[in-house]
Amino acid sequence: MRENKMILSVILTVVFCAGQAYAQEEAAQIVQQNQTTGSMPVGFGATFIDGETFYLVNIAPEVSFGNIGIGLDLNLRFSTSGKLRTNDFVKLEDYLRVIRFIRWAHKGDPFYTRVGQLDYSLLGHGSIIYNYRNSASYDLRRTGIELDLNFEKFGFESMYSNIAGKGLLGVRPYVKPLKFTSWEKVPVINNFEIGMTYARDLNDQADITSADSSNKGLSIIGFDIGLPIISYSKIKSTLYFDYAKIVNYGHGSSVGIDLFFSGLDLVELRGKYELRFNGDRYLPAYFNALYEYDRYDLSINRSKSDTLKNITSNRGYYGELLISVLNTFHIIAGYQAPFDIKNEGILHAELQLPAVADFVLRGAYDKTRIGKVFKFDNYTILSAEIGYKVAPFLMISTLYQRTFSNRNPDGTIRSDGTFVKQDRVEPKVSLLFEF
């Protein structure tokens, strides 16, 4: 079939590249030096929320000492009469979210943890938790945690989205069984991996349907296997198979290949392509970037899980690509959709550019239930910032963000369950202190 031929062609391309990479394989390993870096942007500007003007003071220090990384994000918004916007400080989690994150090391290291804002959390190959964000907008920010341990022969990945309340829990233990046998020293194949995933949304509104309104949580379980077909420093690729089951609903599976390639330390490419075989009442990557929006619809008193009853079995695809040039220019894009069902695509795109001639540009775009890719609705998060560094320590910029909120100006939940558009335009003057 066409899809199978596509995967075969990708595999053949990867194998060919491996031969090229093998000739360039270096005997010595690159030693990464620990560096101490940091910055403390202080921004002043204005923001417009629900037609009301607020003056903004933003303090966002971020620093890294070797493996330790710390980031804060304190937004103080004052009305034109000088009153602080109290909607930003309603619950305990509102105070905790001032800590954007605290981390140790990076994902894939022997010990990795991050506390605070979770940006695009992923477990395994992403069949259950894919690019999940616990802080999709400022008013919906949460404090979560990621914790991974890698003992080389076995380990686990884990995350929890909201340490101040009921949130999304995910755990994935894994083992490399051949590491315990005489095959331990066989290159590539000794990294054959088997993993299992358990994810549960503990929120009371996670599974309210027309058939059941008992306010219970929702769970998804799964397992996966991965076989690295190429494992060199310059190029790596893994074939994998995933299976997932939404408890009390449907199940699905996927088979795919991923790829990492580094050319002369100038260009880095990461990509994956997979076929998905979805059963009735099943959605892959159920916990995605906009799940915090989709979890519950107050206007009809229904959860996202209520939509599963209308889903019939289908086949789909998912593709992802990351291009990085000199580790400064990044383009990230991922798209998934069924072959034969319209308006169910999920897109994540991100642009990260270095400062060019003192101009700074960055942006991100997330959307689910895609009919028209660039139609902004309550399934959309769009943000962009353009700035100019007039001096090494001073930047003038404009931040634009469009989100949708289900809160009234006084912080209460809207009784009709609708989302109100929030366009935020923040002209800022930032003082950048490097140390």
Longest dimension (CA), the chain: 74
Percent of the chain with pLDDT over 90: 29
pLDDT at 225 over 50: yes
For residue 78, pLDDT beyond 60:
yes
Amino acid identity, position 284: P
Lowest-pLDDT range of 13-27, 81-95, 220-234, 354-368: 13-27
Please state, in angstroms and rounded to a whole number, the distance separating the CA atoms of residues 227 and 235.
15
Q: Are 48 and 54 in contact (CB under 8 A)?
A: yes
pLDDT band, very low/low/confident/very high, at 196 (cuts 50, 70, 90)? very high
pLDDT band with cut points at 50, 70 and 90 for residue 376: low
Q: For residue 153, what are its two tokens?
A: 């022969």
pLDDT at 413: 77
Joined together, the tokens standing for residue 371 give 């009919």
Q: Which residue has the tokens 């290159």?
A: 187
DSSP string, 145-173: EEEEEE-SSEEEEEEES-TTSS-EEEEEE
Report in angstroms the alpha-carbon separations of 216 from 15, 207, 208.
48, 6, 8
Q: Check residue 29 and give its pLDDT.
A: 36
- Cα–Cα separations (whole angstroms), residue 16 to 190, 192, 432: 21, 21, 46
CA 214 distance to own-chain centroid: 30
Closest CA to 289 of 122, 128, 131, 116: 131
Query: What's the Cα-to-Cα distance from 50 to each of 33, 81, 156, 397, 403, rounded to whole Å?
Result: 48, 16, 44, 22, 11
What backbone phi and psi angles, to 5 degrees, belong to 433?
-105, 110
322 pLDDT more than 50: yes
Give the C-alpha separation, 314 to 352, whole Å.
35
| pLDDT recorded at residue 28 | 31
Residue 18 has pLDDT above 70, yes or no: no
pLDDT at position 13 is: 44
User: What's the rounded Cα separation, in Å, for the pair 241 and 194?
Assistant: 10
Residue-wise pLDDT for 421-433, tens only, equals: 778 787 877 665 5
Task: Give mean pLDDT, residues 190-218.
Answer: 90
> Tens of pLDDT along 118-169?
977 989 888 999 879 887 555 566 889 999 999 999 999 999 999 989 999 9
Handedness of CA 143, 99, 293, 284 (dihedral sign): negative
Higher-pLDDT residue of 191, 213: 191
106 — pLDDT class (breaks 50, 70, 90): confident
Question: What is the reported pLDDT for 25?
Answer: 39
Instruction: Determine how β-strand 329-338 pairs with β-strand 314-325.
Output: antiparallel
User: Which of the four pLDDT bands, split at 50, 70 and 90, describes residue 326?
Assistant: low
pLDDT of residue 323: 82
- Going by C-alpha positions, the residue among 306, 294, 366, 380 that lies closest to residue 336 is 366
Phi-psi category of residue 108: left, alpha or beta, with phi > 0 → left and psi -120 to 50 → alpha: left
Of 145, 134, 142, the residue nearest 97 (C-alpha)? 142
What is the arithmetic mean of pLDDT over 219-232? Answer: 90
**Per-residue pLDDT at 361 exceeds 90:** no
Half-sphere exposure of 28 (CA within 13 A, CB side): 3
Calculate mean pLDDT across residues 323-336. 76
User: Which residue is listed with tokens 């995605």?
Assistant: 288
Cα-to-chain-centroid distance, residue 240: 20
pLDDT of amino acid 256 = 95
Q: How confident is the model at residue 178 (pLDDT cuts 50, 70, 90)?
A: very high
The pLDDT value given to residue 211: 81
What pLDDT score was predicted for residue 245? Answer: 98
* pLDDT score of 182 more than 60: yes
Q: What letter does residue 300 receive in the DSSP assignment?
A: T
Q: What is the DSSP string of 318-341?
A: EEEEEEEETTTEEEEEEEEEESS-
User: Where exactly are the structural domains of the chain?
Assistant: 2-21+39-431
> How far is 16 from 175, CA to CA, in rounded Å?
29
pLDDT confidence bin for 412, thresholds 50/70/90 = confident
Say what the alpha-carbon torsion angle 335, 337, 339, 342 is, to the nearest 10 degrees: -120
Pairing of strands 99-104, 111-116: antiparallel
The count of residues in the chain is 435
Q: How far apart are CA 229 and CA 89, in angstroms?
A: 51
Mean pLDDT, the chain, rounded, equals 80
Output 110 or 389, whichever has higher pLDDT.
110
pLDDT at position 355 over 80: no
- Residues 6+ away with beta carbon under 8 Å from 121: 129, 131, 132, 133, 134, 144, 146, 159, 161, 170
On the question of pLDDT at 34 being above 70, the answer is: no
Q: Give me the pLDDT at residue 391, please.
A: 72
At residue 131's C-alpha, the angle toward residues 128 and 133, to 5°, is 110
For range 179-199, the mean pLDDT: 93
Query: Mean per-residue pLDDT for 384-389?
Result: 82
What torsion do the CA atoms of 272, 273, 275, 281 make, to the nearest 10 degrees?
A: 50
pLDDT band at 102, cuts 50/70/90? Answer: very high
Q: What is the pLDDT of residue 203?
A: 93
pLDDT band at 22 (very low <50, low <70, confident <90, very high): very low
Q: Which of 343-347, 390-394, 415-419 tops mean pLDDT?
A: 343-347
